[in-house]
Amino acid sequence: MRWGVFGAAGVVFVLRPEGELPVVMLQRRSMWAHEGGTWSCAGGAIDEGETPYEAALREAAEEVGEIPPNRTVLGEYVFAPANDWSYTTVVIEVDEMFGGSVNFETDEVAWVPVHLVDTLSLHAGFAAAWPHLRAIVGHA
C-alpha cells in the first residue's frame, strides 16, 4: 500500500544509554492504521514542499509527541518500489527517552533493544527495511 502523493517518510529514533546497548523507539500501530497491531516507526505522507526529513519529524511529532531538540542524523534508507513513489526512513540519535501515544494512529510506544526488534510482530514494510536501518544504527 502506498500512502502519500509525494511519497512517505518515517523516523527511527536511537538512544545509546551509557554502558548499555542501543535502543530504538518503535510504535505499535493502532487498528485504524495500515497493518494495525504491528510495530513500526512513526511516519506518514510527505506534504507538498516538504523534504523526507521534515515530513518524518512532523509525522513523528504528530504520532508520538514532542521530539527532543538535541538530535543527530545517522543516515537514511530509501525504499523506492516505483519511479514515482518512495518511503524514506531517517535514523536519528537522541539524548533522552520520550514519546507516547498522542493520536489515534499509535497504540503504544516502546524503546526496544536493537537485538530484540526482530522478535516483535513488525509491519511488513518496516520488517523489510529493518536490516538496512539496523546497519545504520550499528555503524554510528
For residue 23, what is the DSSP state? E
Predicted model pTM: 0.92
Residue 80 neighbours by CB under 8 Å, 6+ apart: 86, 87
Read off the pLDDT of each residue in 130-135 and give the average, rounded to a whole number. Answer: 97
pLDDT band at residue 12 under the 50/70/90 scheme = very high
Average pLDDT rounded to a whole number, residues 103-125: 92
Domains and CATH numbers, the chain: 8-139 (3.90.79.10)
User: Cell match 495500515: residue?
Assistant: 34
pLDDT band at 3 (very low <50, low <70, confident <90, very high): low
pLDDT at 2: 61
**Mean pLDDT of the 14-19 span:** 94
C-alpha cell at 59: 509525522
